[in-house]
Amino acid sequence: MRPCFVRTSPFEWIWRFIGSPTVAAWLVACGSTDPTQPSPMQPTPISINGAYSLSVGPGVTQSADGTLNYQVIVVNRTTSNISVTSGGCPTFVQLFSRSDRTGSPVFDEAMIPGLGCVASSTTQSIAGGDSLVFHGHVQLSFITGLSSGHYFAAIRIAPNASEIGLPAGDLEFRAQ
């Protein structure tokens, strides 16, 4: 499995990797412009040209520092190469109080105010039978108002412009 990307807050990304606020122009603000009526961002479509399968592995987990971590795995189900083109915000995690993941989520990564996404697009080739991994991370500081408890996770993704929700296990969330 090859990693594809790691998304962080726009400010952390700027300071950690670039060290200059001038790259703010490279980021795309993906949130609602009306703070009284927020609406969730849509996952940026991922173009996959060939037979593939998607899975979440190992599920959404919470690290010792409180960060939620997840992976979406794209598996090439053919014997020849396929390509995957992605950019922006291709995945979002949601937490639900119900095991069937219905109703409104109690947390939706796509609703984080000011969430930023790298605007560039990348294309990667996956060899026959191999896989590509999209990594997602949500810092605890962005998960406001959610109390400790047992939640059920889903990952929103839009392969070939068709949005789906992948069940992503359950977790004992620890608010700090």
Residue 87's contacts (CB-CB under 8 Å, 6 or more residues apart) are 44, 117, 118, 119, 120, 121, 122
pLDDT of residue 78: 96
- Tell me the C-alpha to C-alpha distance, in Å, between residue 38 and each of 32, 53, 109: 5, 32, 12
Please report, for the domain that includes residue 31, its CATH number: 2.60.40.2360
pLDDT at 142: 93
Residue 10: CA atoms inside 13 Å, Cβ hemisphere, count?
A: 21
Q: What is the pLDDT of residues 48-87, one digit of tens each?
A: 999 999 999 999 999 999 999 999 999 999 999 999 999 9
Q: Across residues 19-48, what is the average pLDDT? A: 58
Looking at the structure of the chain, the number of domains it has is 1
The answer to whether the beta carbons of residues 112 and 139 sit under 8 Å apart is: no
Say if residues 106 and 97 touch (Cβ distance below 8 Å).
yes
Q: What confidence tens digit (pLDDT) does each residue in 119-174 have?
A: 689 999 999 999 999 999 999 999 989 999 999 999 999 999 999 999 999 999 99
Mean pLDDT, rounded, of the chain: 83
Q: What is the DSSP letter of 148?
A: S
pLDDT tens digits along 92-110 = 999 999 999 999 999 999 9
- Site of tokens 């969430």: 115
Model confidence, pTM: 0.78
Residue 6 has pLDDT above 60, yes or no: no
What is the domain range of residue 52?
A: 2-173
